[in-house]
Amino acid sequence: MINPSEFLNFLREKEFTFATGVPCSYFSRMINEIEMHQESITYIPATREDEAVGIASGVAFGGSRAFVIMQNSGYATIGDALTSLAQLYKLPILLFISWRGLESDHDFPEHSIMGNVTKEALVAYQVPYWELTDENWQLTIEMALTKMEDSSRPVALLVKQGVF
């Protein structure tokens, strides 16, 4: 498991000062940690995932950095926020997307179809992505950030159960 405090310090060092999103149980420890340390990274709870992308876009317009937390079910709702805002206006944003609908979610059929097409949906919207695991997580995030900076566009990290 990734230690939430180390994770937040790492992102803070990478100049992230804002986070927003809609929760997933996979991220509950991480969100608790952010909310306990608002002075380091300010967390803004959004009502929808596209709204969260809008907030992160505003932060990027203002010259600061935000990361966004969502389930893959929420990723299914952000197509227009990506294509007609964050990607179109070249706004660098880091997305953490929980990968629901895999084996461990066999009792949650609401996630099964999206779970099957999550990678394809990322490819379809031309969002570069990496799978984040607790091994070498700093390196994976750094690779994603390099792409985010070079392209000045959103990139995504897919997170399975048990990583946070």
**CA 137, 59, 160 angle in degrees (round to 5)?**
30
Nearest to 131 by CA among 105, 109, 157: 157
Q: Which residue's CB is nearer to other proteins, number 92 or number 101?
A: 92
The answer to whether residues 24 and 49 touch, using CB atoms and an 8 Å cutoff, is no
Q: Which of 90, 106, 110, 131 binds other proteins (CB under 8 A)?
A: 90
Instruction: Count residues binding other proteins (CB under 8 A).
Output: 33
* Candidate segments 25-33, 89-97, 99-107, 141-149, binder of other proteins by CB under 8 A: 89-97
Q: Which residue's CB is nearer to other proteins, number 101 or number 154?
A: 154
Nearest to 73 by CA among 97, 54, 43: 97
Binding site for other proteins (CB under 8 A): 18, 20, 42, 44-48, 50-64, 66, 80-81, 83-85, 88-91
